[in-house]
Amino acid sequence: MNREQFNAHRKEFFEEAMSLSDAKAVEYTISNKDRLYNFKHVGSRLGINPKQAALTYILKHVDALCNDAKTGQQFSDETFRSRCLDISNYMVLITALHAEEKTPQPNEDNTKPSGDRNSIIGRNSANDTEPKKWNKLVRQKKA
């Protein structure tokens, strides 16, 4: 692939990634104005921080790409390209989480986890919709 072909490929890839990101934003933010809400919400529910939640999504795609590279087979309707597009979008999102972490934002719409980042957050209220057994989830300590 020569330089011109590569530049055209790169331009098309990132334009497609941006379009995909915009299209998925409403679904993943549950119509919340915070573009990072999904990771904060999922992290809170699982007792992990938002960047760890984002890495879980990224690693799912990386593992699938590794399997594709190893076997040459695709086992779902997600293509090699679509996984690469998703990973590139997750990289933008995780760097946004990192930037926000370095410059804390106001706790608008209760989208940011509160309390100790190593604790299980927000699952002890009477109005809680999560299963009580989730309160017992704890982080695994490294051996």
pLDDT tens-digit profile of 56-109?
999 999 999 999 999 988 888 999 999 999 999 999 999 999 999 888 666 654
Query: What are φ and ψ of residue 30, in 5° steps?
Result: 50, 45
Q: Which residue has the tokens 């109005």?
A: 127
Contact criterion met (CB below 8 Å) for 37 and 25? no
pLDDT surpasses 90 at 112: no
Give the least confident one: 4-8, 9-13, 114-118, 127-131: 114-118
Q: How many CB atoms lie within 10 A of CB 20?
A: 15
Q: Indicate whether this model's pTM tops 0.75.
A: no
23-30 contact pairs (CB < 8 A, 24+): 24/89
Share of the chain above pLDDT 90, in %: 57
pLDDT surpasses 50 at 110: no
Return the DSSP state at 66: H
Return the DSSP state at 33: S
CA distances (Å), origin 49, targets 19, 60, 66, 79, 133: 27, 17, 26, 29, 19
Contact criterion met (CB below 8 Å) for 89 and 21? yes
* Mean pLDDT of the 4-13 span: 96
Contact criterion met (CB below 8 Å) for 121 and 115? yes
pLDDT surpasses 80 at 114: no
